[in-house]
Structure 1
Amino acid sequence: MTDSPLTTVPRSVLVTGGNRGIGRAIAEAFLAQGDKVAVTTRNGGAPEGALDVRCDITDPEQVDAAFAQIEQAHGPVEVLVANAGITQDTLILRMSEDDWTSVIDTNLTGSYRLAKRAAKGMLRLKRGRLIFVSSVVGLLGSAGQANYAASKAGLVGLARSLARELGSRSITANVVAPGFVTTDMTDVLTEDQKSAIKQQVPLGRYASPDEIASAVTWLAGDGAAYVTGAVIPVDGGLGMGH
């Protein structure tokens, strides 16, 4: 996918969870385009050139404070990439109330908080891009990940509802659904586990974080100006038909 910027003027971009893995690759891709990028993390470690904002997205007050800091430094957020997420994997009979609520509150409710706050500035600008990072698991399901899958499936309903609410103001809302990606989270798998996963993927390999970032920057660019309410799978064919 290729990207053409919305404008020649650098945009204010916010990527949550942008200190590692997919989020870091997304932040670096926007930085490479010359955008003004802010990254929220809990413990720091944003890419060089990005505004490092400490924020726990499960805390509404921290979300408001983060946006105030970003708006002061870069102006209103024009592109939001809601990427921050956690897992608490276990089978349903062993899943505690906290296992469920912590994942839903971070992955789904956190994305709602971010989108709600970002939409304020986008409505004034009469333009904007909301991009939610979901997962193939949200569409296929995964044993031992009922909480995670539910949270990621919920992002699809959230994005499509916002696409209908905000479209008249030239604000798009879309979802990217990665499959298995080479990150520190997958590096801990054994070679047998990695091989078994690859056998399920028609392309026979994991994605690189940069391939996910390419889909995100495309959705944020002029080439995707008429794309909204879409779910873009970047999963090597793993979830086709879903």
Structure 2
Amino acid sequence: MILRVIVGAAGQLGSAITAASARTGDRTLAVDPLLTEIPPGVDAVRADAGSPAFGDRLKTALAGASRCELILAGGRVPPLVRVPDATSHDLKAALDDVLTTFRALSMFAVSARSAAIGGSIVLISSVGARHPHRHMIGYDAARAGMESLARSFALEYAPHGITTRVLAVGPIAESATSRADGDLAEALIKLVPLGRYPRLDEVAEAAITVASAALDCANGHTITLDGGLTVQLRPADIERAPAQIGRSG
């Protein structure tokens, strides 16, 4: 039996991943202090990951499991702020987010190792960890910190059968940030080579796949889901065509 733990299950993405996990028929444990609606067949912990309540429920849930998978879909999105206007409080909030992630990962990894059960840890990050947004210094710093944690956990716990990886996500079609694009939406979507943003259900299904044993050899690595947005040097609209470059010699 696979036990899949979804941390941050009350958020838009966390809810979608929880629902996708429930459809697999695997045992799903949803963790979030703000949980309200819970899909049928899903167990719930209405507490912060890293809290004693989560630790106690996790130990009980691990009993009888043949594999355990943690998908961390939480993370705060702070207010937009320019770098010159950022304060130490903004960066402290980012650090607090990383510490919360560390506590959740540590409790899961230690519990799984103590139970002698292998599995995986998947952190849902953002392409902003490596390709920064303008005016989102705190958010991008927190996501970059999460990716660093993932690499450290990958080295520490893979010898014990617990692998770690990151799913870095670009703009999501149904997200509040994408809906706020307004008149700029069409122009922004044109920047994506695929011609559209990933859908919420696609990201949720990808998270389940990335957590599976089939991806255990991606230990420590980041997998990007952005329609090709961040692989290009320049968008197609401003890329020079061959005829403009001319022939040399």
TM-score grouping bracket, smaller chain normalisation: 0.7 to 0.9
Cα distance in 2 for residues equivalent to 1:196 and 1:56: 39
Structure 1: which amino acid aligns with 2:47?
Answer: C
Give the match for residue 72 of structure 1: 60
8 Å CA contact 1:87–1:103 kept in 2: the answer is: no
Match of 1:53 among 45, 50, 54: 45
Partners of 1:73 and 1:229 in 2: CA distance: 26
Q: How many residues align?
A: 228
Which residue, out of 26, 33, 43, partners 1:35? 26
Query: Structure 2: where are the runs of 5+ without partners?
Result: 234-249
Shift of 1:241: 6.9
Aligned mate of 2:100, from 91, 110, 119: 110
Separation of aligned partners in 1, 2:181 and 2:117:
48
Q: Which amino acid aligns with 1:68?
A: D
Q: Which of the residues 152, 156, 178 maps onto 2:169?
A: 178
1:234 maps to 2:225:
yes
Q: Is the 8 A contact 1:17 1:83 kept in 2?
A: yes
Question: Structure 2 matches for 1:66-105, cutoff 5 A?
Answer: 66-73=54-61, 75=63, 78-88=68-78, 89-105=80-96
C-alpha separation between the residues in 1 aligned to 2:175 and 2:221?
A: 28
- Deviation (angstroms), 1:170: 1.6
SS in structure 2 at match of 1:110:
helix
- Mean CA deviation greater in 210-219 or 71-80: 71-80
The answer to whether the 8 Å contact 2:112/2:118 transfers is yes
Moved over 3 A (4+): 73-77
Cα offset for 1:65?
1.9
Report the CA distance between 1:222 and its aligned residue: 2.8
CA 1:173–1:117: 2 relative to 1, 3 Å: same
Tell me by how many angstroms 1:145 deviates.
0.8
> Aligned partner of 2:156: which letter?
E
Q: Match of 2:213, as an amino acid? A: D
Output the CA distance in 1 between the equivalents of 2:232 and 2:113.
34
Q: Based on CA coordinates, which of the two structures has the bigger radius of gyration? A: 2
Matched, 1:193 2:184: yes
Tell me, in whole angstroms, the C-alpha distance in 1 between the residues paired with 2:103 and 2:136. Answer: 23
How far did residue 23 of structure 1 move? Answer: 1.2
Q: Residue type of the partner of 2:46? A: R
* Equivalent-residue separation in structure 2 for 1:154 and 1:17 (angstroms): 17
Taking every aligned residue pair, what percent have the same amino acid on both sides? 25
Partner AA of 2:168 in structure 1 = A
